[in-house]
């Protein structure tokens, strides 16, 4: 057998590196370089994603937190823009690099589980060919760091269990503290791992003097973002409530299909095999906590009505385990060929769905792609929306233009005008959505508001006169298709007093004009 049998050494103080197969660094780094090159080659196509427009605006208003996310991604966007300019390829450089590191980590996880060099390389290749890697590596967002941190924490905890070197808990704490600057969802992984370790024979890893030290390091590093949450009334909980209230039923219905799509249809048998092996194989009994943690996470997400994507990063670890299983299975030419075909098929389908490899109209004209490749349309239409908003602005008399501002119902609309509006000489755009509400409030002398997609009844109560000015039209099924432009004149109270009425926490449903908030009882339709 080419795969080493690893005997965990919980309670011992030193790692047994000799028990591990050697790591083939150059092939793994080559795979990482290839996926980075692929991602950067298409990074400038289509346009900014809805959330990237928000992040771009947030990078000009840095703080220790936002209502819906910690500050790290906005800081990275700011640094990228300063170093490389305000362009899409520069914006997406860090996501590509981070996913390159993540796929190498997948090979390291396979190594920790006793995978030989072929299994390690297979894990790296499979991770790079997954839908999760291509999606996460393409768009700048909280998932870039979150996926990396989840896989790194998993690798470190597996190492602690295997080697018994509990001195690595402070390293785990440092990674966790850093990760909490990107996404609070990391707490879910920690709770799931803790529960998994408690119910298995690996629970001794939790009773270590180094674990409190690691927890202390994590709290110290994460303290600025935690203090921000406390002093601002824990808005993350309100945001989570808005998502859960709105998407519970839809999330439960789509949970299983999303579990398959996140890695990819053709590689799903591999990560599922990894899950089964972690739960059943005697030699992997010490690592059973990973499989248990995944199952616990699935239960929690289903009960909460949360999105399946929240636990997708742990599927990377299951995929790495599955590659150890698959390498042992693929000992004949026929089986190796089937495995190779599955990887190529998964790469191609994931690239089509997650990356802008086809013309937008092709996605729009195909019924299946239109439903599965929604991410493509979230990167489209923003220049056109800005151009049509500019036409409304130019239709106003000069004296009204001087007193006009734009108001977008959600942060994508305001972010689009912030990005593309300078070419048309447009005034600033504002929004009360999430933390965009904190990026600025119109001056009280601005008495004309050009609105996009707002509730007409609400704004008619806030202004003396609101009149329709057309709708957003584009030949693509983008989420803002048909959104109404209005020109509202004569605010009935100063903007500074009106602004609290315009603030809202939630999100915009895809393919509808429906805003979903924590108080909403309706989901996306």
Tens of pLDDT, residues 292-343: 999 999 888 888 777 777 888 999 999 999 999 999 999 999 999 999 999 9
SS3 494: coil
**Residue 16 reports pLDDT greater than 60:** no
What are the structural domain ranges in the chain?
Answer: 19-360, 382-517
pLDDT of residue 308: 74
Average pLDDT, stretch 85-102? 95
**Residue 169 reports pLDDT greater than 90:** yes
In the predicted model, what is the mean pLDDT of the chain? 89
Q: What is the pLDDT of residues 378-406, one digit of tens each?
A: 999 999 999 999 999 999 999 999 999 99
Bridging pattern class, strands 404-408 and 429-430: parallel
Q: Compute the distance between CA of residue 511 and CA of residue 452 in angstroms, rounded to an integer.
A: 15
**Residue 167 reports pLDDT greater than 90:** yes
- Read off the pTM: 0.90
Average pLDDT, stretch 174-183? 96
Q: Confidence class of residue 516 from pLDDT cuts 50, 70 and 90?
A: very low
Q: Compute the distance between CA of residue 135 and CA of residue 131 in angstroms, rounded to an integer.
A: 6
Q: Are the C-beta atoms of residues 464 and 450 closer than 8 Å to each other?
A: no
Alpha helix ranges (H) inside 113-209: 117-128, 131-138, 142-163, 169-179, 186-198
pLDDT of residue 5: 47
pLDDT of residue 246: 61
**Residue 211 reports pLDDT greater than 70:** yes
Q: Which residues pair with 506 in a beta bridge?
A: 517
Q: Compute the distance between CA of residue 295 and CA of residue 275 in angstroms, rounded to an integer.
A: 9
Residue 193, φ and ψ in degrees, nearest 5: -65, -40
Q: Please, which residues have CB within 8 angstroms of residue 135's CB and are 6 or more apart in sequence?
A: 143, 350, 354, 375
**Residue 440 reports pLDDT greater than 50:** yes
**Residue 224 reports pLDDT greater than 80:** yes
**Residue 2 reports pLDDT greater than 50:** no
Average pLDDT, stretch 334-353? 96
- Output the DSSP codes for 406-459: EEESSHHHHHHHHHHGGGGTPPPEE--BGGGGGS----TT--EEEEES--HHHH
Q: Compute the distance between CA of residue 469 and CA of residue 452 in angstroms, rounded to an integer.
A: 10
Q: Confidence class of residue 8 from pLDDT cuts 50, 70 and 90?
A: low
Report which DSSP code applies to 517. Answer: E
Percent of the chain with pLDDT over 90: 78
């Amino acid at each position: 057998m080419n795969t080493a049998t690893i005997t965990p050494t919980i309670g011992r103080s030193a790692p047994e590196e000799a028990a591990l197969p050697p790591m083939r660094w150059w092939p793994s780094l080559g795979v990482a370089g290839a996926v980075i090159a692929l991602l950067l080659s298409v990074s400038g196509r289509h346009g900014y994603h809805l959330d990237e427009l928000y992040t771009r605006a947030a990078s000009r208003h840095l703080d220790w937190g936002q209502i819906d996310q910690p500050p790290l991604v906005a800081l990275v966007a700011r640094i990228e823009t300063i170093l490389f300019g305000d362009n899409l390829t520069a914006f997406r450089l860090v996501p590509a690099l981070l996913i390159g590191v993540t796929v190498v980590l997948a090979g390291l996880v396979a190594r920790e589980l006793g995978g030989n060099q072929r299994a390690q390389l297979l894990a790296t290749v499979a991770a790079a060919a997954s839908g999760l890697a291509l999606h996460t590596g393409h768009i700048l967002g909280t998932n870039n760091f979150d996926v990396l941190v989840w896989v790194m924490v998993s690798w470190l905890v597996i190492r602690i269990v295997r080697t018994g070197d509990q001195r690595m808990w402070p390293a785990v704490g440092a990674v966790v503290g850093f990760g909490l600057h990107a996404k609070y969802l990391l707490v879910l992984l920690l709770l799931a791992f803790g529960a998994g370790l408690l119910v298995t024979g690996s629970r001794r890893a939790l009773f270590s003097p180094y674990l409190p030290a690691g927890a202390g390091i994590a709290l110290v590093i994460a303290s600025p973002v935690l203090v921000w949450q406390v002093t601002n009334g824990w808005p993350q909980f309100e945001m989570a409530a808005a998502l859960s209230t709105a998407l519970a039923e839809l999330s439960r219905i789509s949970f299983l299909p999303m579990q398959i799509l996140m890695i990819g249809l053709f590689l799903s048998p591999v990560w599922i095999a990894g899950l089964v092996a972690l739960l059943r194989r005697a030699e992997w009994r010490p690592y059973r906590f990973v499989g248990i943690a995944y199952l616990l996470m699935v239960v929690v997400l289903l009960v909460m009505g949360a999105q399946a994507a929240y636990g997708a990063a742990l599927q990377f670890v299951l995929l790495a385990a599955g590659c150890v299983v698959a390498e042992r299975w693929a000992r004949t030419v026929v089986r190796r060929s089937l495995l190779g075909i599955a990887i190529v098929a998964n790469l191609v389908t994931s690239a089509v769905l997650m990356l802008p490899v086809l013309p937008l109209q092709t996605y729009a004209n195909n019924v299946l792609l239109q439903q599965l490749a929604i991410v493509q349309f979230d990167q489209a239409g923003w220049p056109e929306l800005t151009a049509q908003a500019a036409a409304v602005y130019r239709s106003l008399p000069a004296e009204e233009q001087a007193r006009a501002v734009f108001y977008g119902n959600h942060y994508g609309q305001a972010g689009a005008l912030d990005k593309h509006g300078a070419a048309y000489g447009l005034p600033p755009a504002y929004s009360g959505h999430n933390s965009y509400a904190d990026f600025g409030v119109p001056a009280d002398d601005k008495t004309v508001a050009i609105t996009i997609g707002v509730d007409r009844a609400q704004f008619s109560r806030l202004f003396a006169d609101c009149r329709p000015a057309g709708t957003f039209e584009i030949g693509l099924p983008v989420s803002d298709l048909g959104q109404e432009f209005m020109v509202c004149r004569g605010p009935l109270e100063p903007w500074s007093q009106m602004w609290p009425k315009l603030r809202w926490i939630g999100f915009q449903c895809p393919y509808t004009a429906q805003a979903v908030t924590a108080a909403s009882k309706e989901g996306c339709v």
